[in-house]
């Protein structure tokens, strides 16, 4: 895998630009560019990479290498190499006296620059760019840890809040690429950092929500539901005096609890939780719009709760009810692509489960469109793989080129097979 400096040099020459020209266009010193290209500096700041990427005409993530491609493509032979840098940060080589090998970082990290890097990486994640997110995470986590260690006084609480957010993005991303043990380490780090942040309750509750998602993925439905409910009880806001972020934090915990309870065959609890979550989302809609540092906090809404009602119907095995509920959902009102895509898989499942030719056609249209518009996300979804298996098994004629490409994308069986309702997805 090329180093950052080798990538910068290759892209600079392709523009073409001299080292001096790149320095002038980016505002980065020519001395630093030379050190990068000679391999004397291998851990530049994320803000440095942002500045270099602009005149080079590439996304910042292009400068971070491409070993992560094997991970997002689910290539087993090279998968561990793709996660090597993330693993180094989450499980550092630790020695006596607090020594951590490979955790050095040159120069200062500013809170504003780190906050911008957290936002940038969160945007990569929510646009299903798992390759870019995995490339950005090692540097982001090192910078966040450095700032938390080197900051003192009241500002240290904010630094730990950013560290918690960085760890949580790592946990979410590792969940998506099915590295659950590493995700658990990252989310434990998010919770530890949250305890030392300026908002231990809010930051901690956010991390707990993602931990509940992890537990559900592991099939630990009772643990996930109990953890979500107990945390929701601790952070339950007063509607008359609550902020949108407080309501969203509480609402997401209710959604995670409902997802776990649905899979644990507790439909009455699911209905109660979703009704309460609807009230929280409706209250947010009555408050003045607020900009959220977390994209996910801004994504909690009445349409998102309606999507969860559809999911609960799917988990219960009721395709008719799922389609009825889905008809009242406005997916465009939910800002996160992964949430919209997940809902569309539920719609495809319901159409397939009806067992009609028309239903198969509608399901096929949904799945083929997802394969075209969200290939990276689809490649990671076992749920999608099962649906494509069933769609392939239902065909009465030779497989079309589009379906063959979709089958290869998700790793489905070209001969088709049975699919189950999503149990841990």
Tell me the per-residue pLDDT of 7-51, one tens digit each, with 9 for 90 and over.
899 899 888 899 999 999 998 889 889 988 888 776 677 778 878
* Overall average pLDDT of the 353-364 stretch: 93
pLDDT at 75: 46
Rounded to 10 degrees, what is the CA torsion of 288, 291, 294, 300?
30
> Which DSSP symbol is given to 94?
E
pLDDT at 77: 42
pLDDT in tens, 53-111: 889 988 776 776 554 554 555 544 445 556 888 998 999 888 887 667 766 666 678 99
Q: Answer whether 343's CB lies under 8 Å from 310's CB.
A: yes
C-beta atoms surrounding 191 within 10 Å: 20
| CATH tag, 1-59 | 1.10.260.40
Provide the pLDDT for residue 281: 92
For the chain, what are the domain ranges? 1-59, 108-198, 326-425
pLDDT of residue 81: 54
Alpha-carbon distance of 242 to 355, in angstroms, equals 47
Helices (H), 152-266: 155-176, 180-195, 200-217, 221-235, 244-263
When the pLDDT of each residue in the chain is averaged and rounded to a whole number, the result is 86
Q: Is the model's pTM score more than 0.85? A: no
> Tokens 């929500």 identify what position?
209
d(CA 292, CA 301): 13
The pLDDT confidence band at residue 3, using thresholds 50, 70 and 90, is confident
Its sign, for the CA torsion 198, 298, 276, 316, is negative
pLDDT for 117-148, tens place per residue? 999 999 999 888 888 899 899 999 999 999 99
107: exposed, middle or buried (C-beta count within 10 Å: 0-12, 13-18, 19+)? Answer: exposed
- Render pLDDT for 232-279 as a digit per residue (tens, 0 to 9): 999 999 888 888 889 999 999 999 999 999 999 889 999 999 999 999
Region 170-179 average pLDDT: 94
pLDDT(201) > 70 = yes
Token pair, residue 52, equals 């270099």
Q: Which band of pLDDT confidence, cut at 50, 70 and 90, is reported for residue 376?
A: confident
Q: Using alpha carbons, list the distances in angstroms from residue 322 to 79, 115, 161, 315, 329.
A: 36, 40, 39, 9, 11
Residue 343 confidence (pLDDT) above 80: yes
Distances (CA, A) of 106 to 2, 40, 62, 371: 21, 12, 22, 42
């Amino acid at each position: 895998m090329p180093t950052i400096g080798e990538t910068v040099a290759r892209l600079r020459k392709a523009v073409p630009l001299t080292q001096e020209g790149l320095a002038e266009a980016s505002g980065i010193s020519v001395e630093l560019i030379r050190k990068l290209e000679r391999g004397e500096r291998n851990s530049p700041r994320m803000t440095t990479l942002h500045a270099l990427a602009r005149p080079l005409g590439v996304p910042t993530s292009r400068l971070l290498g491409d070993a992560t491609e094997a991970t997002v493509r689910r290539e087993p032979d090279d998968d561990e190499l793709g996660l090597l840098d993330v693993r180094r940060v989450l499980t550092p080589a630790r020695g006596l006296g607090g020594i951590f090998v490979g955790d050095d970082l040159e120069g200062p990290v500013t809170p504003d620059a780190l906050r911008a890097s957290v936002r940038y990486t969160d945007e990569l994640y929510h646009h299903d760019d798992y390759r870019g997110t995995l490339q950005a995470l090692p540097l982001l986590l090192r910078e966040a840890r450095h700032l938390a260690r080197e900051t003192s006084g009241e500002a240290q609480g904010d630094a730990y809040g950013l560290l918690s957010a960085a760890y949580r993005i790592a946990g979410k991303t590792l969940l998506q690429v099915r590295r659950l043990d590493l995700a658990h380490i990252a989310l434990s780090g998010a919770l530890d950092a949250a305890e030392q942040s300026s908002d231990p309750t809010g930051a901690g509750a956010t991390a707990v929500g993602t931990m509940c998602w992890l537990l559900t993925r592991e099939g630990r439905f009772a643990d996930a539901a109990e953890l979500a409910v107990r945390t929701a009880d601790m952070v339950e806001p007063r509607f008359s005096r609550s902020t949108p972020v407080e309501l969203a934090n509480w609402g997401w915990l209710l959604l995670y609890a409902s997802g776990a309870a649905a899979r644990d065959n507790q439909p009455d609890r699911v209905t109660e939780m979703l009704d309460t979550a609807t009230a929280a989302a409706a209250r947010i809609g009555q408050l003045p719009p607020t900009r959220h540092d977390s994209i996910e906090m801004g994504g909690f809404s009445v349409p998102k709760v309606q999507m969860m009602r559809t999911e609960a119907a799917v988990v219960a095995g009721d395709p008719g009810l799922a389609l009825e509920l889905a008809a009242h959902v406005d997916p465009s009102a939910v800002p996160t692509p992964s949430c919209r895509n997940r809902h569309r898989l539920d719609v495809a499942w319901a159409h397939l489960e009806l067992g009609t030719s028309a239903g198969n056609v509608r399901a096929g249209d949904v799945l083929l469109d997802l394969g075209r518009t969200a290939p990276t996300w689809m490649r990671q979804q076992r749920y999608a793989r099962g649906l494509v298996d069933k769609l392939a098994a239902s065909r009465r004629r030779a497989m079309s080129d589009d379906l063959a490409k979709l089958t290869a994308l998700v790793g489905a069986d070209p001969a088709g097979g049975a699919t189950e309702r999503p149990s841990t997805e």
